[in-house]
């Protein structure tokens, strides 16, 4: 299957070629034709499955074809995302895929001055990517009007509900026109998710890939048993001896992330921590440095990691095993994306063994144990 066979127009295919994307992922194969036909979508898919392109490409295509006959610039597509990081990642996708079509977009989120965001809105944009709080704020100030919305995308709906955005979402929905195409994506199909989806979607096409229990098949997983006080030494040993030039390291807490990053820097390993207590600017700088590889190691908490999408990330390291088995699956899904292989290493202490047991039960496979290391 090729993007041409999915009836994607040439300017978008040229942009995809430049990014090195030649074949659509399963979620893109299932979603793109349905969206181009004007259908609502209920997509059950985790990050790393290519779902951003699954909605961005058809939206860019349909808007660019309409714009040839109607040149007015009002917001016609609204993409709602739970976090700033994810909003910026989606915005990057619209920028990269849409470089050869005349569609404008901007991103709005809280935690920074609204000045540049309102300037963009005054100039007029076709696509708006937003987090719920800042969107409602700018709607109340009169900077955002949603009367002309033709496409509404709710991305990572499960995370939206986890973060308590349900009332904000309902306020936004109340301002949208009745006639629109709605694209709804979630990593789970829990009852509260289905309830929200049913209020929004009209006769949707259901697309589903990779249930949470099946970790990315291309990710090679292994575990190191280690005493709690030896974890730092083990991390430095693995980074110095494992041919790892770029890795995302997960901790359970913000303080833990800061401690690990500080310890690595002291040892001459360039690292930054990213979590909810960091300023927006600091998080963006850390992510940019990690993406352009001036920062070798990014240490992250789980909430901050949503929206971290790094091309060809080879390693994920679970410095601490997560308490929820599903979280492990989301973490290791940061590598082995879009057809690349990846490696996930986990450091497990005695008191983390019950978490590891839950993980193996969920993924229905045992994880290889690395016995040959100096800190076992």
**DSSP annotation string for 314-334:** -EEEESS--SSHHHHHHHHTT
For residue 213, the model assigns a pLDDT of 55
The tokens describing 28, both together, are 């893109």
How many other C-beta atoms lie within 10 A of the C-beta of residue 305?
21
Whole-angstrom Cα distance, residue 188 to residue 191? 9
Report CA torsion sign: 81, 122, 172, 28.
negative
Range list of β-strands (E), the chain:
41-44, 77-80, 105-108, 127-130, 151-154, 181-186, 205-208, 219-225, 247-250, 271-274, 297-300, 315-318, 342-348, 368-369
For residue 180, is it left (φ>0), alpha (ψ between -120 and 50) or beta?
beta
Contact predicate 47/329, CB 8 Å = no
Helix (H, G, I), strand (E, B) or coil at 371: coil
Domains of the chain with bracketed CATH = 10-208 (3.40.50.300), 219-369 (3.40.50.300)
Angle 273-278-283 (CA atoms, 0-180°, nearest 5)? 65
Summarize pLDDT for 249-270 with one digit per residue, the tens.
999 888 999 999 999 999 999 9
List helix spans (H) across 37-131.
Answer: 51-67, 84-97, 115-123
Q: Which residue did the predictor score with more confidence, 211 or 283? A: 283
- Cα torsion angle, 307, 38, 11, 124, sign: negative
Length of the chain as a residue count:
376
Please say whether the dihedral angle defined by the alpha carbons of residues 192, 198, 201 and 207, taken in this order, is positive or negative: positive
Report how far residue 186's alpha carbon sits from residue 182's, in angstroms, rounded to the nearest whole number.
Answer: 13
- 125 pLDDT tier (thresholds 50, 70, 90): very high
Distance CA 351, CA 323 (A): 11
Give dist(CA 318, CA 112) in Å, integer: 31
Smallest CA-to-CA distance from 222 within 371, 47, 374 is with: 371
**What gap in Å lies between CA 297 and CA 37, rounded to an integer?**
43
Q: Which two tokens stand for residue 300?
A: 């992250």
In this prediction, residue 372 carries a pLDDT of 86
Is 0.75 topped by the overall pTM? Answer: no
pLDDT digit string, tens, across residues 294-353: 999 999 987 666 556 676 788 999 999 998 887 888 788 778 665 567 899 999 999 999
Residues 6+ apart with CB under 8 A from 211: 44
pLDDT digits (tens, 9 = 90+) for 33-55: 999 999 999 998 776 678 899 99
Terminal-to-terminal C-alpha distance of the chain: 47
- Average pLDDT, integer, range 278-290: 84
Predicted confidence at residue 47, as pLDDT, reads 66
Higher pLDDT, 136 or 73: 136
Q: Which of 274, 282, 207 is nearest to 31 (CA)?
A: 207
For the stretch 154-202, pLDDT in tens is 999 988 887 888 899 999 999 999 999 999 998 877 788 889 999 999 9
Residue 72 φ/ψ, nearest 5 degrees: -70, 140
Backbone angles phi, psi at 333, to 5 degrees: -70, -5
Please state, in angstroms and rounded to a whole number, the distance separating the CA atoms of residues 148 and 73: 10
């Amino acid at each position: 299957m090729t993007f041409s066979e999915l009836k994607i127009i040439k300017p978008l295919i040229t942009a995809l070629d430049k990014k090195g994307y030649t074949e659509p992922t399963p979620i893109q194969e299932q979603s793109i034709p349905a969206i181009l036909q004007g259908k609502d979508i209920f997509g059950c898919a985790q990050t790393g499955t290519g779902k951003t392109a699954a909605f961005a490409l058809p939206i860019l295509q349909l808007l660019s074809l309409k714009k040839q006959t109607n040149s007015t610039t009002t917001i016609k597509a609204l993409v709602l995302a739970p976090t700033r990081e994810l909003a910026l990642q989606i915005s990057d996708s619209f920028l990269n895929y849409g470089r050869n079509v005349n569609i404008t977009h901007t991103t709005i989120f809280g935690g920074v001055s609204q000045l540049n965001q309102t300037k963009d809105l005054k100039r007029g944009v076709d696509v708006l990517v937003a987090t719920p709080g800042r969107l409602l704020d700018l709607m109340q100030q009169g900077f955002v009007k949603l009367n002309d919305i033709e496409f509404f995308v709710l991305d990572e709906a499960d995370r939206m509900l986890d973060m308590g955005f349900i009332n904000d979402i309902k306020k936004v929905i109340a301002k949208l026109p009745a006639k629109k195409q709605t694209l709804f994506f979630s990593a789970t199909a829990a009852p509260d998710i289905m309830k929200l989806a049913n209020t929004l979607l009209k006769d949707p096409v259901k697309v589903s890939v990779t249930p949470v229990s099946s970790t990315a098949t291309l990710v090679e997983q292994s575990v190191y048993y280690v005493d709690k006080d030896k974890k730092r030494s083990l991390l430095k040993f693995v980074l110095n001896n494992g041919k790892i030039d770029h890795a995302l390291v997960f901790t359970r807490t913000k303080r833990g992330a800061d401690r690990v990053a500080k310890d690595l820097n002291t040892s001459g390993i360039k690292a930054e921590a990213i979590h909810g207590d960091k300023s927006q600017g600091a998080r963006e700088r850390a992510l940019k440095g990690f993406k352009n590889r001036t920062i070798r190691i990014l240490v992250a908490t789980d909430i901050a990691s949503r929206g971290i999408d790094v091309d060809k990330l080879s390693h994920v390291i679970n410095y601490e095993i997560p308490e929820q088995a599903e979280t492990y699956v989301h973490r290791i899904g940061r590598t082995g994306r879009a057809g690349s292989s990846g490696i996930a290493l986990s450091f497990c202490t005695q008191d983390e063994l019950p978490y590891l047991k839950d993980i193996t039960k969920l993924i229905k496979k045992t994880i290889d144990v690395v016995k040959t290391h100096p800190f076992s």
